[in-house]
Chains A and B, each alone.
Chain A
Amino acid sequence: GAVVSQHPSRVICKSGTSVKIECRSLDFQATTMFWYRQFPKQSLMLMATSNEGSKATYEQGVEKDKFLINHASLTLSTLTVTSAHPEDSSFYICSAFPQPWGEAFFGQGTRLTVV
């Protein structure tokens, strides 16, 4: 089956630094990928839609200058959390669809802790 790989799985960083999270589709091309944020014991909140070769579409309330998304190839999207603060600590997950209107495949998630 399709595989989406997300890296790193865990990262601890200091306040004020930036962190990059990668999401790769390993055996299919993804013109669109999705980035979610999840707080403990809560559901997934869509942050942005990553579009290959064009600007990402951000959900209302998500700061585009804080959460930079780059989708430079058909198999890779990156989310960079800039100038991270402790309140950015969360679980970030990406997903992609091998087929339109089909099932989504998710990365393993990244646990970000900002100290």
Chain B
Amino acid sequence: SQQGEEDPQALSIQEGENATMNCSYKTSINNLQWYRQNSGRGLVHLILIRSNEREKHSGRLRVTLDTSKKSSSLLITASRAADTASYFCATGRETSGSRLTFGEGTQLTVNP
């Protein structure tokens, strides 16, 4: 079952704007990861943040984690048309080994 909820479900912005996606989860976690999926393709790992971390950066990506609120956000700055994709958060729990539980995803469209 999906424990993560993401909002918004869909987001449409113009090139150059920033995109923010949010993810909430229900149980305690070991880590939270963000993935990207282009239509009809497999998932590509973007960034992993551990439960004892609050913020992480990778290029134009910034991820925050608030374990007290059981939520995370992914910020993509200076978006490009090539960023158009579905974005999923996934949580890894201590009791589940390496198994990931995925959120519902956000469909991001960046218009040129």
Contact = CB atoms under 8 A, between A and B. Distances in A.
Interface of A: 4, 6, 32, 34, 41-46, 49, 91, 93, 95, 97, 100-109, 111
Given A103-B45, A108-B41, A43 B102 contact: yes
Secondary structure at chain B's binding surface: helix, strand, loop or mixed?
strand
A32 B40 contact: no
Contacts of B90: 104
B41 A97 contact: no
B42 A108 contact: yes
A97 B33 CA distance: 13
A104 to B, nearest CB: 6
Contact of B98 (A4, A97, A109): A97
Interface of B: 2, 30-31, 33, 35, 40-45, 48, 88, 90, 92, 97-105, 107
A43 B30 contact: no
Most chain B CB neighbours (cut-off 10 Å) among A4, A6, A46, A91: A46
